[in-house]
Every structure is written in structure tokens, then in C-alpha cells.
Amino acid sequence: GVGTAVVGSAIKAGKSADDINTLSKITGLSTEEIQKFQYASERIDVSLDTLTGSMSKLTKNMSTAKKGTGDAYQAFKDLGVEFQNQDGTLRDKQDVFNDVIKALSTMENETQRDAYAMQLMGKSAQDLNPLILGGADDLKKYGDEAQNAGLILSQDSLDGANAFADGIDKLTATATAGLSKIGGKFSEDLLPYLEDSIDYLEKGIERVS
């Protein structure tokens, strides 16, 4: 029972690691950032999909705003949020995200606030309102809390868990294929007996009739 529980936990961890690695590739966020968001999302009433999607969209808009024109550039300017360093490189996206959330939280006009949020972080930005109203400090606080509690797995640990899950999937597929072969072989061997039984039954029915 203990062994089964341990293997079950390992498989679950492997599936979770696979999801985190996949989401990292899709959004361009680090696996560390995703794990912090995952931990924080349960406490700030904002889904992980909303957080990662908004951050990914913001990162793209930071790059677009470097041209010095467009809605994203104007939104950054109106909110007073710097998205570039003095040397012209883009600032850390987490820092920019926090600054945007802080700037939005000070706005009294909710309609304009939502408009800026969507310009910078996509259509799902309205779902960030619990975070905007609560302040970006909560996101950082919970992220740091997860880090300090040792809940953030390294990339090597995630890859190891992912590899274990892949191994289990391969083992399951191999076992299934093997059983299918065995079943097929038995079916071939048993088919003559089955045909004889059917023939015997049919003749018996004819005699009774």
C-alpha cells in the first residue's frame, strides 16, 4: 500500500512537472515564475491561466512598445510605467507587471482602468481585478512565501519528475501492447475450439427443432 502510494505520488508529480514545463514553453515564462503564480493564484482568487496569459501578453506588448508608438506604448506612458532600462533594453517583466498593477490600483475610473489593463495584458485582464484591488504586493508576498517554504522545484527536479512520468507512460504502453499480442495469440489458438462449439450448438438446435 505504501509502495503504491509513493508511485502514485511520483506519477502525479511527473504530470504536474510536465504541465509546468509545457506552460513555460507556451508562455515564455520561467518554470519558477509559473510555480510562484500557481501558489499565489489559490490565495488571490485569480486563476493561473489568467496570470500567465496576462504576463505573456504584457511581455509581447513591452517589445511592441519599443517602437514608441501604438496603444501599448501610450498605455505605459499614461500609467507612468517604465518598460525599458536606460540603455534601451526591456526591464524585467515581473517588475513591469507589478508596476502596472500598482498604477492600475490607484485609478478611480474603473472603465479607463479596465481599458488600460486590456491594452497591456489582453482581454482576460479584467479577471485580474482581485489582484489589482488587493495590490501587486500580494503576488510578490505569496511568491516569496512559496520560495522560502521550498515549494519551488528547480528545473532539474522538474525534468527528473517529467522523465519518470514519461517512463511510466512508456511502460504502460509497452505492457498494453504486450497483453494485446498475448490476447491475440490466445484468440488464434482458441478460435478452432470456438468454431467447433458453435457448430456443435447449431447441430443441437437443429435436432431439437
More confident of the two residues 1 and 155:
155
User: Is residue 3 scored above 50 in pLDDT?
Assistant: no
For 125, which DSSP code?
Answer: G
Q: Residue 101: exposed, middle, or buried by beta-carbon count in 10 A (0-12, 13-18, 19+)?
A: buried
Question: Can you state the angle between helices 48-65 and 2-27, rounded to 10 degrees?
Answer: 20
For 108, which DSSP code?
Answer: S
User: Is residue 78 scored above 90 in pLDDT?
Assistant: yes
Would you say the pTM of this structure is higher than 0.95?
no
User: Tens digit of pLDDT for each residue in 108-131?
Assistant: 999 999 999 999 999 888 888 888
User: Tens digit of pLDDT for each residue in 21-49?
Assistant: 888 888 888 889 889 888 988 888 889 88
Count other Cβ atoms within 10 Å, centred on residue 34: 23
pLDDT at 171: 61
* Cell numbers representing residue 117 in the block: 489593463
User: Is residue 182 scored above 90 in pLDDT?
Assistant: no
